[in-house]
Chains A and B, each alone.
Chain A
Amino acid sequence: MLEFFTVLADPNVPFLRYALLVGLLSAIPFGIIGSYVVVRRISSLAGAISHCLLAGIGGGLYLERVVGWSYCGPVSGAFVVAVVAAAILAWAHFRAGQREDSVIGALWSVGMAIGLLFLAATPGYTDPMSYLFGNILLIGQSDMYFVLALDVVVLGLAAFFHPQFLALCFDDEFARLRGLPTNWLYFLLLCLTAMTIVLLVRVVGIVMVIALLTLPAAIAGNFASGIGGMMVGAVLACASFIFCGMAISYSLDLPTGPVIICLAALTYLITSLKSSIR
């Protein structure tokens, strides 16, 4: 474990510092948006959005390498698909006739299928594993600015619209009766969730996104009496899972994402058992 701190301080190994910094900075949107996702009970929607992102990643790579659009790439592709997926899910939610559950299932797998097709059509070997399971150690300096920008956007919008989001999550019908534009608010909340997931995919990968989005918030929810406290708790829990997960995975030479998730799951199990015994 001590070696982890030595390497962290080593000026010749910048990637570990970037990884840690990005991880800790991204704990902020994870905790805040994760709390909304948990109390609004939309973690299956978050799952669908995250799996959809593979279509954006594959499409972005294809456009960049085959079509030659240099401004495209996996991250911008993922962003576009994330917002499209959020729009489809919001639409399905408000069209009474649409079975929301079926739309979630369809998005989930169709997104994966399209992504894999694009990856197969893109020359040169692209390992889908790093997108599916993430690789925090591939994170560079440009990602850090990206995360900082997202921190500002998520914190700003969540702070600005907090009373409205709270009303929407608690009882959307009542929020509508107070004259709030609940459809737009729901779409905005899904967009924020989608943007957070794009970031999350860089850290833990598509498959494990839901765990890192929901577990810290669920853990904090076992203790917090208000949603503000839940968010702070979730941010702190998320940051410590990322920090400890990186330290453990470095020391034991294990992949980082799975270690972070297992830590979060174990903590959730222990805190839930404790609070159910009480």
Chain B
Amino acid sequence: MTEAIVEIRGLSFSYAARTILNDINLTIYRNDLVCLVGPNGGGKTTLIKLILGLLAPDSGSIQVFGLSPCQAIGRIGYVPQHASYDPKFPISALDVVLLGRLRKTLFFRHGQKDRERALAALDAVRMSDLATRPFAALSGGQRQRVLIARALAGDGTMLILDEPTASIDQEATAHLYDLLRSFSGNLTIIMVTHDLGVVSSLFTRVACVNRRAAIHPTSEFSGKMLAEMYGDDSRLIRHDHCCEGGHA
């Protein structure tokens, strides 16, 4: 865990006149399992979009795999919070995963290797028997897994998930966490979540993001930190109860 994969120094970002992120310093190492928590509007998604290179910082620097985010494009598997697809889009699960194999060339065709990698990615999320199923006919949890497979198919070594549990039920959430647990040790994972109960059981470090960011080992994560961040620690208690029940 010595090689820094993401290195953020003195980063600030604002939309119009509103400062979203201010003087962020954050280092994420190889095979780190980092969870981003913080209140809505605290800048979690913005931070992720900066790491992905979808947004450019006002000041400060970001290095991803030692490169600028724009140069590192394609090396990160990303699972978005709200996929913008048409719910009736006529496409099979396998074809969605194949989109994750696209490369920046003028003439692109999926080859045999792309198919093999896409099927392997579907296998990794235990969806290979539904590969030919229309994406629109899948359940919310299954679609989520297909999108994770799409992110894995690009052969990146880092996976970023933005609130993956927001639109799926409890059972699918439990499956998702099992899946992420099975990736640990092989992938660097950054996940945005409001589900604080899972923080200690799955992740090694927690980054609290609310205009500023502070990163802690999960073992030090406490109600006091949350109280500072959210201004009310009753959320921790409530989430803990619900999620411990769910994971028992």
Question: Taking beta carbons and an 8 Å cutoff, which residues of A are in contact with B?
Answer: 39-41, 160, 163-164, 166-167, 169-181, 221, 224-227, 229-230
Contact = CB atoms under 8 A, between A and B. Distances in A.
Contacts of B104: 178-181
22 contacts: A39-B89, A41-B86, A163-B99, A166-B95, A166-B99, A167-B99, A170-B85, A171-B99, A172-B84, A174-B80, A174-B99, A176-B54, A177-B52, A177-B53, A178-B99, A178-B104, A178-B154, A180-B104, A221-B90, A224-B90, A225-B134, A227-B89
Contact of B73 (A167, A179, A226): A179
A180 B96 CA distance: 16
Given A164-B108, A171-B85, A178 B100 contact: yes
B78 interface: yes
A272 to B, nearest CB: 11
Contact of A179 (B74, B88, B90, B92): B74
B91 A166 contact: yes
B120 to A, nearest CB: 18
For the complex of A and B, list the 5 residue pairs with the smallest distance between their C-beta atoms, beginning with the closest.
Answer: A179-B104, A178-B102, A179-B73, A224-B90, A225-B134
A214 to B, nearest CB: 13
Contacts of B76: 177
B91 A178 contact: no
Given A172-B84, A179-B74, A163 B102 contact: yes
B83 interface: yes
The secondary-structure label for the interface of chain A is helix
A229 B110 CA distance: 18
B126 interface: no
Contacts of A225: 90, 92, 134
A39 B54 contact: no
A171 B97 CA distance: 12
Nearest to A170: B85
A178 B74 contact: yes
A221 B102 contact: no
B83 A226 contact: no
Contacts of A174: 78, 80, 99-100, 150
Contacts of B134: 225
B206 to A, nearest CB: 25
A166 B150 CA distance: 14
A175 B102 CA distance: 8
B109 interface: yes
> Which of B78, B95, B102 has its CB near the most chain A CB atoms (within 10 A)?
B102
A129 to B, nearest CB: 36
Contact of B91 (A40, A170, A175): A170
Contact of B90 (A39, A41, A173, A175): A39
Given A163-B110, A164-B108, A180 B102 contact: yes
Given A179-B73, A179-B103, A229-B90, A173 B80 contact: yes
Contacts of B85: 170-171
A40 B84 CA distance: 10
B205 to A, nearest CB: 24
Contact of B108 (A163, A171, A177, A229): A163
A167 B53 CA distance: 18
Nearest to B77: A177
Interface string B65-83: 0000000011010101001
Given A180-B104, A225-B90, A171 B74 contact: no
A117 to B, nearest CB: 38
